[in-house]
Amino acid sequence: MAQDMEQLYAERLKRYVTAMRNEKPDKIPIRPFVAEFTAKYAGYTCQQVAHDYEMAFAAARKCAADFDWDAIVPNMVYVWTGLTQAIGLKYYGVPGIDVSPDFGFQYREPPEEQAFMKPDEYDALIEDPTGFLFNVWLPRVSADVSAMGEPTSFRNNLSFVKGGMAMLSYFNAFGTQIARMRTESGTVSAISGILKAPFDILADKLRGYLGLVNDVLKQPDKVLAACEALMPHLTHVALSGADPDKNVPIGFWMHRGCVPFFSMEHFEKFYWPTFKPIVEELWKNGHQVLFYAEGSWDAHLDSFAELPDQAIVYHVDMGDIFEVHKKIGHKFCISGGIPNYLLSMGTPDEVRDCCRKVIDGVAGDGGYIMDAGAIVQNDAKIENIKAMTDFTREYGVY
């Protein structure tokens, strides 16, 4: 049994890697990014899998065992509240506390005037990004951490102890989870490591979207310098979590740098020149990056085509997957393209029809991975996920 499972794992890994290298495997790999859907399928609430990562891990393993998937993320329920609450983070809406137990976690961005970084603090960030995050940003985003210069407290000290213990507990548990996925269901861990663009760091966690909109107009030189200052730190984070075997890609979550959030001029001035070199450096080290293009990044496909062949896997959410294939499919593997609304509101027949169109349109020569457009949450119908899976296995054979 163990030998059979190891053989299944080897077949799935080969299939997945072959497709990601934009080549033709034996069949189309299936790699759904399933988050709160796993809770629904396993009989848990969003609250349970957010508060107890062992439940989240178990739900992911159950889906891996019951569905014929080649790869999944070991836990796509991104926020484990045991860690975020250990240091009192303010910017997450927690299931069962801040939002309904049946809703996934929510990110809460403060009003512009309460942004976690002030408009006159760019110089401090540029001079020492790590120091700024620890000394200035962390006390602002935490309910327990004392600001620099203020008296310390028991809650301040305990938050670091609890936070450190929680981080060790959670991240060390992933090794066991990945091993169990391999031995119990022959399932590959879909990604390893994480990356964000410097511009998105400013927009998501520091200045906020509205604050950054003002900054690119009022102090563009500071914005560019801040992005440049963040580049080596983000490269280091990506490499530190990357797959040592250089098989599975580094996950890159794309947020606010695209048209229409910002203009093409701003993309070309701030976003791309401070992110493209990071991807090129990672590829020099043998690591692909999974461009998880949330929303639509179709306006920027020509820029992405500047990257070396095979350097990325491009994931399509709300973009036009056929246009994506036309413009960059000769260079990169493509994944996704099955609309989440269809998985939630459609019928199995409609899902199968959509899968057929996508496979016929973009997967003929390989280099395609089946997945929903965006992360699958608990609104998706189980029968529709099964239809996507079963149809791809039957129809997606080369």
Q: What is the mean pLDDT of each run of 10 residues along the chain (398 residues)?
A: 88 98 98 98 97 98 97 94 93 92 92 96 98 97 93 93 95 97 98 97 97 98 98 98 98 96 97 98 98 97 98 98 98 98 98 98 98 97 98 98
Sequence letter at residue 362: V
Integer CA distances (angstroms), 83 to 45, 170, 255, 388, in order? 19, 8, 23, 34
Tokens of 177: 């989870």
What's the pLDDT score for residue 8?
A: 97
What's the pLDDT score for residue 218?
A: 98
């992360």: which residue's tokens? 375
Task: Measure the CA–CA gap between 357 and 90, rounded to whole angstroms.
Answer: 43
The residues that bridge with 107 in the sheet, in sequence order, are: 92
Average pLDDT, the chain: 97
Q: HSE-up of 176 (CA within 13 Å, CB side)?
A: 9
Task: Measure the CA–CA gap between 19 and 336, rounded to whole angstroms.
Answer: 13
Q: Order across the sheet with 368-369: list the strands.
A: 194-195, 250-254, 289-293, 312-316, 333-336, 368-369
Tokens of 71: 């790869």
Tokens of 50: 């957010």
pTM for the full predicted model: 0.96
What's the pLDDT score for residue 1?
A: 62
What's the pLDDT score for residue 79?
A: 87
Cis ω before 249 (30° cut-off from 0): no
Alpha helices in the chain (DSSP H): 2-20, 36-42, 46-51, 53-66, 81-84, 122-127, 129-132, 138-141, 154-185, 198-201, 208-218, 220-240, 264-266, 276-284, 301-304, 321-328, 340-345, 348-362, 382-395
Tokens of 76: 């796509």
Are 205 and 288 within 8 A, CB to CB? no
What's the pLDDT score for residue 78?
A: 84
What's the pLDDT score for residue 40?
A: 97
What's the pLDDT score for residue 289?
A: 98
Task: Measure the CA–CA gap between 37 and 44, rounded to whole angstroms.
Answer: 10
Q: Does domain 2-395 have CATH number 3.40.30.10?
A: no
